[in-house]
Structure 1
Amino acid sequence: MTSTTSTLRSKTFRITAIGVAATGLCLAGAGVAAAANPTSAFGQAVGTTVHAAGVDWSDMPEGYTQAQYEAFWGAGFTSADQAALGELWSLDATETKSQAGQMVLDGEELPFAPGTHAEPELPADDSAAILAFFDAGYTAEDVEELSALWSTEYMETKARAGQMVLDGEELPLDPATSAGS
C-alpha cells in the first residue's frame, strides 16, 4: 500500500506542478500582450483581472498612471494636442500624457485648451485600415519604423500598412518580433 500511496502523491504533485507552471506561463503571456498596448480593452481586462487576483502589477508604463491617462483624454485633449505639448515640452508621448494628465488632476492650467489642435477627419476606409493594423498586433514603434522606411507621415503610414493588412499583403516587419525590438 505504501508504494500505491507514494505513486498517487507523486502524480498529484506532478499534475499540480504542471498546472502552476501553465498558469504562470498564461499570466506572463497575457502580461506581455497587455504591456504592448495597456490602454486597449484587452490590456485593461488583464490589468483588472490580475489586480482582482491580488497581484500588484501595473498595466501602465512606469511613471504613468491610469488616473493621469483618464484625466488627459477625459479633459478632451486630442492626439494632435498631445503632439503639440510634447514638442513644446520636449517630451515623448507617454511623458507628455503623464505630465499633462497630472496637471489636469491637480487643477493646473495647461499651455492651451483641450481640442486646440483639431484632428483631421479620416475617411472611413482609412479608419478601418488603421484599426486593422493595430488589431494585427503592430505597435506605435512599428509605425515609426515603417514611416522611416517608406518616408511617409504617421497617419499615411498607418493607413497604408493597415490597407496592406486588410488586403492580405505582407508588411516588411512582423508584429510578433517587432514588438520586442
Structure 2
Amino acid sequence: MTSTPSTSRTARSKTFRLTAIGVAATGLCLGGAGMVATANPASAFGQAVGTAVHAAGVDWSDMPAGYTQAQYEAFWGAEYSTGDLAELQELWSLGETETKSRAGQMILDGETLPFEPGTHTTPELPADEQAAIAAFFEAGYSSEDVETLNELWDTEHVETKARAGQMILDGEELPIGPATS
C-alpha cells in the first residue's frame, strides 16, 4: 500500500506561503514609499503619502522632527523668499529647518518677523541650474544630504545642489544615496 500526500495540506501550505509573501511585499512597498516621502516631504509624492497615511488613521508626521506642515505652509504662504530664509538663518544662527519652523510658528502666532516677506531676494538662477536643482530633489535627496555633500565637496548650498543635480542628469553616481544623511 502506497500513501499519497494530502492535497489539503499542500494547498494550505501554498496559501500560507503566498499570503506571507504578499504581506511581506506590501510591507516593503509601504516602507519604501514612507522612506521616499520622508526624504522629501514637501514633494507632491511626499504630500500624497502623508495624506494617505493620515487618512488611514496612522499618527505619522511626514515633516522633520519639530517642524509641522502648518509651519511650512505659514512660512512659504506668507511669500518669504529663499533669500529671506538665508537672512533669518544668519540672524538667528539656526539651520534651515529650525529657521522655517521658528518663523512659521511666529507667523501662526501672529508675531512679526524681523522684516517683511521678499525683503531679501536672490538673483534668478539660470534655467540649466534650476533644472539640475529640481533633478536633485526629484531623485529623493534632502536638505540633510545637501549638508553632507557641502562638507564632502567644500561647497555652498546652491553650488552643491546644482553640481549634484547635474551629475544626476548626466547619469553619474553621487557619493551618497538619497536620504542617507
The C-alpha deviation readout for 1:36-64, integer Å capped at 9, x for no partner, is: 11111111111111122222211111221
Is structure 2 residue 160 aligned with structure 1 residue 151? no
Residue correspondence of structure 1 range 92-103 to structure 2 within 5 A: 92-103=95-106
TM-align CA RMSD: 2.2
Query: Of 65, 78, 102, which aligns to 2:68?
Result: 65
**Which of these residues, 34, 38, 43, is aligned with residue 40 of structure 1?**
43
- The alignment-based identity, stated in percent, is 74
- Structure-to-structure mapping, 1:22-171, within 5 angstroms: 22-171=25-174
Q: How does the TM-score come out when normalised to structure 2?
A: 0.85
Q: Deviations over 1:140-178 (max 9, x none)?
A: 23323333343332212222232232233344x1325xx
* 1:23-45 Cα distance to aligned partner (Å, 9 max, x none): 12211111111111111111111
Structure 2 stretches lacking a partner, 5+ long: 1-5
Moved more, 42-51 or 155-164: 155-164
Deviates more, 1:79-88 or 1:98-107: 79-88
Matched, 1:180 2:180: yes
Amino acid at match of 2:104: G
Q: Distance in 2 between matches of 1:53 and 1:90?
A: 39
- How many pairs were matched up? 177
| TM superposition score normalised by structure 1 | 0.85
Q: Which protein has greater RCO, CA pairs closer than 8 Å, 6+ apart?
A: 2
Within 2, Cα distance between the matches of 1:180 and 1:135? 15
Kept after mapping to 2: 8 A contact 1:50/1:57? yes
**Larger Rg belongs to:** 2
